[in-house]
Structure 1
Amino acid sequence: MSSDERPTQHSIRDAAAVTHAGGMRATRAFPTNTHSHLDPFVLFERFHIEPDQGFDTHPHAGFEILTYMLEGGMAHGDSLGYESTPRAGDAMRITAGDGIRHSEFPADDAACSGLQLWVNLPADRKELDPSYAEASSDQLPTEERASATVTTVVGEGSPLDLETPMEYLDVSVTGSESGSDAGSWTWEPPATWVGFCFVVSGSGTVDGDEDGAKLEAGQFVTLEGGDSLTLSTETECRVVAVAGEPHGQEIHQRGPFVA
């Protein structure tokens, strides 16, 4: 399918409010009662952890975790012996493989917020040895475009990679200071990949025209293989755009484990 033939209309979906055991709040795109997994992606949410909260040591297996911090810092420790505190703009990847245990707590007695993505492991890689990697904000390539700033969290130039071919972009689109001219950004993942675009802050118009669907913070759209997306805004809109190659296998999630 050529770019001229790609679909240009997208359904806007609302993420759901979730409260984890211990009171930690999240805005979850999927899985929810209305939105299932999105092969190869198991889960995506924006989390908020207050100073007196946190996730005690708990196990994971069968998938990979990518955490991208938006505000504050999060103290991480795991059964491999790694301890780190990613802060706003930093990212870390955990390949749970055949099993890992870790904890997550806010650093510096201050609240923190970030984005967490779970990516399924292909069936023949479920028994991988667990591993950990991290990248600071200055290690993630950032490109200034006409009306957008694009940071590559996973993809070309990033030191982070996963077992699944994918890209993860942090994109800020801005209009003119007067609001008279809209800024826009077009995303065209590989034709065989599946993805989604989640609004972190601000608002925009999907598909780049006056009749396009409005996209607000906490909402998202999904892209099937061959889709593209144009995001426009007269003010400012920050999104994360995530796409990857499907595995073509069912996702069987049982809490912190993915078979």
Structure 2
Amino acid sequence: MTPDESGASVEPLSGETVRHGTGVNSDRAFPTNGHPDNLDPFVLFERFYIDPDKGFPMHPHKGFEIVSYMIEGGMDHADSLGVEHTARENEAMRITTGSGIRHSEFPADDEACNGLQLWVNLPREEKEADPDYVDASAEELPTTELDGATVTTVVGEGSPIELHTPMEYLDVHVSDTWTWEIPDEWSGFLYGVEGSGTVREGDAAAGAGADIRCEFGAGDVLPNADARDVTVESDEEDGLRFVAVSGRPHGEPIRQQGPFVL
């Protein structure tokens, strides 16, 4: 792909390996050395891999919201609100850390697990919101069969997972083609989960300049700060799986200090 009008590359970027102090490994989409900025309203996004003997002991958070979505295995969650819950494949959890919460995350059943975790900034006036928690089973997340794709709404219309920030989080399995359309003035990103394909963005998605395309696959991230339409095509028999995340920016600085977003 070519640079956008601001000169920034719109080509998919590779994630970066992050090793947490607890021994958990993650594939970080952003912020990384390759994409050092947050993507307002999103603080960070990564795919985590937790071995049976690893995990995150009880630790604090404040000032943002967390959406965890499981890809394989199960993850045990416990928090200072008294909640204990196990999220399994294709299930989601949302934590509003607000004024402060403590929680732990460990693999369930002594088996490895992996999933996706998104941090969403809270607007300044809601930084001290009461901490809260909600989860959703796979059956509670609406799934739509389309020509060329199957789309599950993790956050958005019909999902029980809601945040303080207007946003949409889609789990997409493309067997042929699918076009991602996000509201004007929103920002977002695509992250490859499994398989491979190509992406066509902007005018190319509308059919003009269709030769302007890039490969896209597992571990790749495509930032989209300008609400451009993106068409995704699968080039594998088993299809391409990715998540498409978008939201309305707050227009406020994101100041992350470890587990806190101030």
With normalisation by structure 2, the TM-score equals 0.91
Once the two structures are TM-superposed, the CA of residue 229 in structure 1 deviates from its matched residue by: 0.4
Of the candidates 159, 174, 190, which is equivalent to residue 183 of structure 2? 190
Cα root mean square deviation, aligned: 1.1
Alignment of 1:250 with 2:253, yes or no, is: yes
Secondary structure in structure 1 of the residue aligned to 2:125: helix
Aligned-residue offset at 1:31: 1.2
> Is residue 97 from structure 1 mapped to residue 98 from structure 2 by the alignment?
yes
**In structure 2, the residue corresponding to 1:53 is in which secondary structure?**
coil
Cα deviation digits, residues 163-211 of structure 1 (max 9, x gap): 000000000001xxxxxxxx10000110110000000011111016554
**Does residue 1:114 correspond to 2:115, yes or no?**
yes
* Alpha-carbon offset, residue 226 of structure 1: 3.0
Partner SS for 1:108: helix
In 2, distance between residues paired with 1:159 and 1:193?
22
* AA partner of residue 165 (structure 2): T
Match of 1:200 among 174, 193, 203: 193
Gaps of at least 5 residues in structure 2 are 1-8
Secondary structure, aligned partner of 1:34? coil
Question: 1:108: Cα distance to partner?
Answer: 0.2
TM-score, normalised with respect to structure 1: 0.92
Residue equivalent to 1:178: none
Deviation sequence 1:233-259 (CA, Å, 0-9, x none):
131110000000000001000000000
Q: 1:58 aligns to what SS in structure 2?
A: strand
Q: Which residue of 2 aligns with 1:21?
A: 21
Contact 1:10 1:213 in 2 (8 A): no
State the partner residue of 1:5: none
Aligned counterpart, 1:4: none
**Shift of residue 34, structure 1, vs aligned partner:** 2.8
In the comparison of the two structures, how many residue pairs are matched?
A: 243
- Three-state SS of the structure 2 residue aligned to 1:85 is strand
Amino acid at match of 2:14: D
Give secondary structure in 2 for the equivalent of 1:101. Answer: strand
Q: Deviations over 1:45-86 (max 9, x none)?
A: 000000000100000000000000000000000000000000
Cα deviation, residue 44, structure 1: 0.1
For residues 90 and 47 of structure 1, the distance between their equivalents in structure 2, rounded to whole angstroms, comes to: 15
Counterpart Cα distance in 2 of 1:111 and 1:140: 24
